[in-house]
Amino acid sequence: MTAPGARIRVLVVDDSALVRRIVTDNLARCPDIEVVGTACDPYIAKDKIAKLKPDVLTLDIEMPKMDGITFLKLLMRSHPIPVVVMSSLAHDGSRAAIAALEAGAVDILGKPDGPWSAFDDNQLSNKIRAAAASRPRIRRETEGGIITLPGLAASTVTPARLGTPLIPGVRAGLARSPIVRSTNVSHRAETKSAPRSMPLRSYSANSLILMGASTGGTEALKTVLTHLPAGLPGICIVQHIPARFSTAFAQRLNELCAFAVREAVNGDVVEPGLALVAPGGWHMVLRSKGSHYIVELSDSPPVHHQRPAVDILFDSAIKGNVNRDSIGVLLTGMGSDGARGLKHLRDHGLTTIGQNEETCVVYGMPRAAAEMGAVQHVLPLQDIAHAIIDQYAATAVTPR
């Protein structure tokens, strides 16, 4: 994490001289950010990391000598540093970018594709700032030891402290796996370890599980969603993610979860056994139609510099008379998006959950929500799925 008041030192790693120039010129306009060097391949990058000690890397995926994901994995095992991955917007590039997030990258950004290309607004600098605010940790593998990257000394592992769940009824007997944080929140086994089905009590057709996240959120969401069973109320998700990458993100979750996950489209019906992910570049608005909600995508102006915005999702659910047994969840992320909306959900009588500081990549959005009294229950990441299950488990209420 960058020291308060210090300029953020950035190393740009890309085999394209044009991209290195575009990134450098873009960041040169930011008084709080300094590009301390560039590298055209991972081997040169390794030497410059040791020499220049940057706070953040921007990293291309397709490079000569060693691809970016392989380099990223080696880096996270021995010398973790916040990384923003630059990837093409093509489908293969999007899938690779999601793999990079799983390997430890903080965030992703579409690469400029020509000499006149530019980043929208301040998206690059904002992602650099969010990355600099994250807390990287060594990424331990389940097998073997830590593989070091020659020339870079291994950093000290600082495991996250385990918190105590605050929601009554969260099963104390369920195993809690400690989290060892990389630049993303690491997770339990990637297999579909959630119960495939479980007895659930009846709930209203307009019950919802609403979730919002930003920096570090793709892995945090994966941790929660892969530990949920099928048959829960409809799930609506806003993750701050660039357009086109959201499709690959939803597809990846669909491969791992016990229920269907897909990118939302206009007119989608929110229903049990389905999770909908807001597409990058579009707000996801819920409209009440009879006893159900339908999705309406909007290109209205960004909120908190974000589109999609978590506040838009949360507030639209309230306007549609969301049932009070619904749940609002706010996970890791920079800024304050979702805090105000979560407060509205709590005021409306919903259960609200905020991820705790120890397990957040960036404790920004949950902190803002907690400070305004929006968070009813502060939980470590590994307890959030259990809390959601308990809300709807048949054993959580007295049988009729």
For the chain, what is the domain count? 2
Instruction: Considering only CA atoms, give the Rg of the chain.
Output: 21
Same domain for 220 and 87? no
Same domain for 127 and 212? no
Which of 77, 105, 132 is the last residue in one of the domains? 132
Same domain for 220 and 122? no
**Beta strands at 292-298 and 269-270: parallel, antiparallel or unpaired:** antiparallel
Report how far residue 185's alpha carbon sits from residue 198's, in angstroms, rounded to the nearest whole number. Answer: 27
Which structural domain range is residue 348 located in?
208-396
Query: For residue 115, how many other CB atoms are within 10 A of its CB?
Result: 8
CA dist list (Å): 382 to 178, 293, 378: 8, 29, 12
Q: Is 257 a domain residue?
A: yes
The answer to whether the CB of 238 falls within 8 A of the CB of 279 is no
CATH number of the domain that 45 lies in?
Answer: 3.40.50.2300
CATH number of the domain that 233 lies in?
Answer: 3.40.50.180
Q: Is 156 a domain residue?
A: no
Residue 38: which H helix or E strand, with range?
Answer: strand 33-39
**Residue indicated by tokens 């993610």:** 241
Q: Is 303 a domain residue?
A: yes
Q: Is 371 a domain residue?
A: yes
User: What pLDDT score was predicted for residue 197?
Assistant: 66
User: What pLDDT score was predicted for residue 400?
Assistant: 36
Nearest to 162 by CA among 357, 354, 332, 329: 357
Q: Is 140 a domain residue?
A: no
Same domain for 358 and 212? yes
pTM for this prediction = 0.84
Nearest to 320 by CA among 377, 391, 269: 269
Q: Is 279 a domain residue?
A: yes
Same domain for 227 and 83? no
Which of 108, 132, 156 is the last residue in one of the domains? 132
Q: Is 286 a domain residue?
A: yes
Q: Is 273 left (phi over 0), alpha (psi -120 to 50) or beta?
A: left
User: What pLDDT score was predicted for residue 204?
Assistant: 85
The per-residue pLDDT string of the chain (400 residues; one tens digit each, 9 = 90 and over) reads 666 678 999 999 999 999 999 999 999 999 999 999 999 999 999 999 999 999 999 999 988 889 999 999 999 998 899 999 998 766 677 899 999 999 999 999 988 765 555 666 688 999 999 999 997 665 554 333 334 555 565 443 332 222 222 333 333 322 332 322 333 333 333 434 555 567 778 888 889 999 999 999 999 999 999 999 999 999 999 999 998 899 999 999 999 999 999 999 999 999 999 999 999 999 999 999 888 899 999 999 999 999 999 999 999 999 988 999 999 999 999 999 999 999 999 999 999 999 999 999 999 999 999 999 999 999 999 999 999 999 998 655 443 3
Q: Provide φ and ψ at 374, rounded to 5°.
A: -85, -20
Please identify every residue annotated as catalytic.
Answer: 214, 240, 337
